[in-house]
A = this chain, B = another copy of it.
Amino acid sequence: MNDILITHFHNDFVIIISTPSYEAEEHMNDIRSLMHPFVEATESPVTPVPITLAYGDGIGPEIMKASLRVLEAAGAALAPEMIDIGEQVYLSGNSAGIAPEAWESLRRTKVFYKAPITTPQGGGYKSLNVTVRKSLGLYANIRPCVSYAPFVATKHPKMDLVIVRENEEDLYAGIEHRQTDDVYQCLKLITRPGCEKINRYAFEYARAFGRKKVSCFTKDNIMKLTDGLFHKAFDEIGAEYPDLEKEHWIIDIGAAKLADTPEAFDVLVMPNLYGDVLSDVAAQIAGSVGLAPSANIGPHCAMFEAIHGSAPRRAGQDSANPSGLLLAGVMMLVHIGQPKVAEKVHNAWLKTIEDGVHTNDIYVEGVSHQKVGTQAFAEAVIARLGQEPVYLAPVRYEASAGKPFSVPVASARAPARKEMVGIDVFVHSTQSVEDIAGLVQRAIIGSYELAMITNRGVKVWPNGLPETFCTDHWRCRFLAAEGRQFNKAMVVDLLRNLCQLGVDFVKTEHLYTFDGEPGYSLGQGQ
């Protein structure tokens, strides 16, 4: 095991990044069956655990080298398989930034330790992180944000929270369409299984790690269906955890509270976009985004990484802080059942921080004692392995954390009674709303009517206001007469008639009720 890692440390990184680790491959067959998330801790494992490893771009290789040195010196039993991801893969013509062979390694090891990568500028490149998270079903993004006052400058010395971010859906579905000259659209998708999984994960995590409170953040005063679903799942699932305190915040004022008084929070759970923004806020105000790790957890696999990017301009200078990636390695060790090693690394790191051995990003004259580079920082942590912090609280992974828990993929639920009641047809037009209303009404054959037209969600027909600014993108809502249903044959007829009338329809959204409840929002002003 040591030989394997030492080989990597002394090799040229460029070569390593693009060459699979044959040494690691040899160990793989032995322990393949060992790996799945949340296994019971098997201490002092004699067999190295295979992990998939990517050195990434920019500062990635140097912080990965530093992190692996520390993990290895602490006795982590790891058998890494190297894969190619990132800039070179993108530029070779793979728009996903990850080679097909890489998926096989990930499927085999089920654990991915990943340095930051660079997505090339320009169109057509999909976010690798989003692709990996979603393809592997890594639905939970876990981001602990802790302040280390007075050793790392922060305005929030008592901060110790964990953000549990939904990781697969929301606007990150990446489904965008431009359909008129004026209007571009992105779909925000929120799903019941997604909401159930992430909320349950947050409550289970809070219990397993001895946390007391779970706070949910949404904007369900505006997005009553999508964010409303997330909030509802939080309430429903939270009821099964009477031992935990629960609260809900509207995202705007919740974010304000978090930015000002982070010590008021413990575990936070929220949809993807809010979690993306607020986990960066929380990490930054704790001290530095350079210190924050993250875990991406799914039922099959898990990925561990720093939250910061690849900082291409600082690459190769031996100045980057490896702490985020190293602490992600600590989370990985807990995950794969090596909490003793995790504890050893984490406490040595805390001791290094409180000894004032700091990389440039957190170095402060008068507080720090020694400014070091990336590799010297790793050496300082290694020199402290076995020590514990004196002023900061030491971590105890064996006692309180790493307790296995599992989250069901989705609750069994009978399908709702879905009835179609109408359709929203979106039209591209520069005509007046009265002209559009007159035209599309001519396409109606049957017992339904044009109920309203909105522009950017605002009702502009009937009885619109002349002050409402209108784009070239009109939603025409057709509703079945009271007590009647709409059906797909009517959709086909309506669209055929609109087509023959020369109406430039660009998209449709069917309107349904579910168990009698409308599955669609009203127009603003309706």
A430 surroundings in chain B (CB, below 8 A): 415
Q: How many angstroms between the C-alpha atoms of A126 and B183 in the bound complex?
A: 23
Binary CB contact string for chain A from 118 to 142 against chain B (1 if under 8 A, 0 otherwise): 0100011011001100111101000
How big is chain A's contact interface, by range?
35 or more
A465 surroundings in chain B (CB, below 8 A): 103, 107, 135-136
**Residues B184 and A222 in contact, CB atoms below 8 Å apart:** no
Given A189-B456, A526-B95, is A176 in contact with B255 using a C-beta cutoff of 8 Å? no
- Main SS class of interface, A: mixed
| Closest B residue, CB atoms, query A190 | B184
A194 surroundings in chain B (CB, below 8 A): 456, 471
9-residue interface stretch from A24-32, A256-264, A344-352, A391-399: A256-264
* A506 CB to nearest B CB, Å: 5
Binary CB contact string for chain A from 229 to 268 against chain B (1 if under 8 A, 0 otherwise): 1000000000000000000000111011101100000000
| Closest B residue, CB atoms, query A169 | B456
Within 8 A of B (CB), among A193-223: 193-194, 219, 221-223
**Residues B524 and A131 in contact, CB atoms below 8 Å apart:** yes
**Residues A135 and B222 in contact, CB atoms below 8 Å apart:** no
Given A260-B284, A499-B492, is A289 in contact with B182 using a C-beta cutoff of 8 Å? no
A467 surroundings in chain B (CB, below 8 A): 107, 135-137, 298, 300-301
Binary CB contact string for chain A from 31 to 47 against chain B (1 if under 8 A, 0 otherwise): 00000000000000000
Binary CB contact string for chain A from 91 to 111 against chain B (1 if under 8 A, 0 otherwise): 000011000000100010000
Q: How many angstroms between the C-alpha atoms of A139 and B456 in the bound complex?
A: 12
A126, A182, A259: residue with the most chain B Cβ atoms closer than 10 Å: A259
**Residues B136 and A456 in contact, CB atoms below 8 Å apart:** no
Which listed residue, B139, B222, B279, touches A174 by the CB 8 Å rule? B222
Within 8 A of B (CB), among A334-391: none
Given A177-B519, A499-B492, is A509 in contact with B507 using a C-beta cutoff of 8 Å? yes
**Residues B469 and A193 in contact, CB atoms below 8 Å apart:** yes
**Residues A174 and B524 in contact, CB atoms below 8 Å apart:** yes
**Residues B173 and A457 in contact, CB atoms below 8 Å apart:** yes
**Residues A520 and B176 in contact, CB atoms below 8 Å apart:** yes
Cβ of A508 < 8 Å from any Cβ of B? yes
Cβ of A283 < 8 Å from any Cβ of B? yes
**Residues A222 and B172 in contact, CB atoms below 8 Å apart:** yes
* A206 CB to nearest B CB, Å: 23
Cβ of A15 < 8 Å from any Cβ of B? no
Cβ of A149 < 8 Å from any Cβ of B? no
Q: What 5 pairs between A and B have smallest CB-CB spacing?
A: A173-B457, A178-B519, A256-B284, A176-B225, A137-B469
Q: Which residues of A contact B (CB under 8 A)?
A: 95-96, 103, 107, 119, 123-124, 126-127, 130-131, 134-137, 139, 155-156, 168-169, 171-179, 181-194, 219, 221-226, 229, 251-253, 255-257, 259-260, 273-274, 276-281, 283-285, 289, 298-301, 309, 409, 413, 415-416, 418, 424, 428, 430, 454, 456-458, 465, 467-469, 471, 473, 475, 488-489, 491-492, 495-496, 498-499, 505-512, 514, 519-526
9 of the cross-chain contacts (CB-CB < 8 Å) are A127-B221, A135-B468, A137-B469, A155-B156, A177-B510, A183-B191, A256-B289, A260-B281, A298-B467
